[in-house]
Amino acid sequence: MNIYSLICTRSREDITPTTDKLLSFLAQGGVKTYLISGSSSIFSSYYGGVEKIDPDPEDLIIFCHDDIEIRENPSQFIEKLKAITSSDETGFVGPAGTTCLGPDAVWWDQGRWQQGLHKGKVTHIDPKEKEYLTYYGPPDDVVVLDGLFLAARAKVIRDIGLQKPEYFEGEWDFYDIHYTSKAFLEGYTNKVLDMNILHNSRGELVGRNSWHKNRLAFIEKTDLPLKLHK
């Protein structure tokens, strides 16, 4: 089994210390990493990247942001990742998601969070550059996952397809909900992986107009809510 990662970054000439640390971590875990810069779309970046790699069905593909830090032993983390994705029934895995995607298609909705429907944990940075842990709930099976880190076998990725749906206007938004919900609807089980991850972002992109447009388009095309049935 080969393990690959695809990371979109603004410029190869302006790699941040966080991205440098991420690249080092992945390399220590034996991951073959491809940096994609100057792309006009995250959909085309991921789709084109996978096509270029041409992975075997059981190879593992990681899609992740360039502003994350994984605070674990690299080799042990990769073994944990391989174990959780080994089942033919497993779709995507990641650090955080929800067991119920409601009519608003906002996975982190506060009301459903209070009902205990969200799973996982992510450390974030506040406006004063201080770290704080966002704990959603214990790791479990979920309907959709957040896109800061996603991993799946190539077979799963081929089955769902990575192209941008024609009804999405924005090129960088809602890809995570689209990909993971599609895997769920096609019968795969998405899972939250217990991992120690720092996301150097405060979520400003959620305020982008294109994010809201893609969300509304997703709502129109999807029979919501999507719920996990056990």
Q: For residue 202, give the nearest of 130, 126, 95 by alpha carbon.
A: 126
What's the CA gap between 228 and 189, in Å, rounded?
A: 9
Beta carbons of 200 and 125 less than 8 angstroms apart: yes
Beta carbons of 97 and 180 less than 8 angstroms apart: yes
Predicted pLDDT of residue 209: 87
Q: How many CA atoms lie within 13 A of 209 on its CB side?
A: 0
Predicted pLDDT of residue 202: 58
Q: What is the mean pLDDT of each run of 10 residues along the chain (230 residues)?
A: 92 82 97 91 96 97 96 98 96 98 96 97 88 96 98 98 95 96 98 96 65 95 91
Predicted pLDDT of residue 20: 94
Give the max Cα distance, the chain.
48
For position 93, which CATH number holds? Answer: 3.90.550.10
What's the CA gap between 120 and 158, in Å, rounded?
A: 26
Task: Please name the residues in contact with 130: beta carbons below 8 A apart, sequence gap of 6 or more.
Answer: none
Predicted pLDDT of residue 129: 82
What's the CA gap between 82 and 84, in Å, rounded?
A: 6
Predicted pLDDT of residue 204: 53
What separation in angstroms does the CA of 8 have from each of 39, 46, 48, 63, 171?
8, 8, 12, 9, 13
Q: For residue 200, give the nearest of 18, 5, 9, 13 by alpha carbon.
A: 18
Predicted pLDDT of residue 9: 85
Predicted pLDDT of residue 109: 95
Q: How many CB atoms lie within 10 A of CB 27?
A: 13
For residue 28, what are the domain limits?
3-227
Task: Please name the residues in contact with 133: beta carbons below 8 A apart, sequence gap of 6 or more.
Answer: 121, 122, 123, 124
Six-digit token pair at 229? 């049935």
Predicted pLDDT of residue 207: 56
DSSP 8-class letter at 73: -
In total, how many domains does the chain have? 1
Kindly state the helix (H) or strand (E) to which residue 181 belongs, with its residue range. helix 175-185
Q: For residue 94, give the nearest of 151, 141, 139 by alpha carbon.
A: 151
pTM of the full predicted structure? Answer: 0.95
